[in-house]
């Protein structure tokens, strides 16, 4: 087992840097935290982790090579991802001022747990940049001789730490004092994040992924 520690440490550092960098996942958890509260944000965090596990799974199975070298498949994921980010952004742009208690205001319009999970899952799984990260990471960091069970362990680690990281982000941004301040200006923050999501969608459309 000790022979695989260098691989694991490489994957751990690369993944930590990637997951902590600002992107659609972070923007989503931030919006869910401020707009709908901790429960919704945590369920979206779990969805993000599940979406990431899809990328990891096809890389372990060797299907990442197909996606990377199939212009049609990559373009399909690219435009679906851009469309979904634009959809999330447009919904955020329509945010209205909130009144009353912050928890009651958020609870009145909060999505179901399943809807929150689905949003997180789709934002991650339809992100071709996330797909290409893992497609590039596995051949570089993982030997072809590494047993699939060990590779699965790497995947479980990355999935769980992703969920933990974004749940921590949710915990930070759902503190009572943060959300009370958000109540009076929340619709403007929502709309600003809507612009961010639209920016991600536009950048994805024009990104060169090959």
Domain segments of the chain: what residues? 25-206
- Report d(CA 34, CA 179) in Å as an integer: 6
Scanning the structure block, which residue is given the tokens 């009651």?
Answer: 104
Q: Give strand ranges (E) for 43-140.
A: none
pLDDT of residue 104: 45
- Residue 183, classed as helix, strand or coil, is helix
- Rounded CA separation 68/133 (Å): 11
Q: What is the pLDDT along the chain (210 residues), one digit of tens a residue?
A: 577 888 899 899 889 988 888 788 999 998 898 888 899 999 999 999 999 999 999 888 887 766 666 777 777 777 887 787 787 778 777 766 665 555 544 555 778 999 999 999 999 998 888 888 888 888 778 888 889 999 999 999 999 999 999 999 999 988 877 766 666 665 666 777 777 778 877 876 776 655
Which DSSP state fits 127?
-
Exposure string for 13-37, b = 16+ CB within 10 A, e = fewer: ebbeebbeeebbbbbbbbbbbbbbb
What is the C-alpha separation between 75 and 73, in angstroms, rounded?
6
In a 10 Å sphere around its CB, with 0-12 CB exposed, 13-18 middle and 19+ buried, how is residue 140 labelled?
A: exposed
Q: What is the pTM of this model?
A: 0.78
């Amino acid at each position: 087992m000790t022979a695989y520690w260098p691989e694991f440490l490489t994957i751990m550092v690369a993944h930590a840097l990637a997951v902590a960098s600002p992107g659609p996942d972070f923007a989503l958890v931030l919006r869910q935290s401020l707009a709908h509260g901790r429960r919704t944000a945590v369920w979206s965090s779990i969805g993000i982790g599940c979406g990431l596990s899809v990328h990891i799974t096809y890389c372990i199975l060797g299907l990442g090579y197909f996606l990377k070298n199939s212009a049609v498949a990559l373009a399909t994921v690219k435009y679906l991802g851009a469309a979904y980010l634009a959809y999330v952004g447009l919904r955020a742009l329509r945010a209205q001022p909130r009144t009353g208690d912050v928890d009651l205001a958020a609870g009145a319009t909060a999505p179901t747990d399943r809807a929150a999970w689905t949003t997180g899952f789709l934002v991650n799984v339809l992100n071709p940049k996330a797909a290409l990260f893992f497609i590039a990471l596995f051949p570089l960091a993982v030997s072809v001789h590494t047993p699939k069970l060990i590779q699965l362990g790497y995947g479980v680690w990355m999935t769980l730490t992703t969920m933990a990281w974004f749940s921590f982000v949710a915990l930070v941004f759902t503190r009572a004092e943060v959300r009370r301040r958000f109540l009076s200006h929340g619709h403007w923050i929502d709309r600003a994040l809507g612009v961010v999501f639209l920016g991600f969608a536009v950048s994805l459309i024009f990104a060169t992924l090959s």
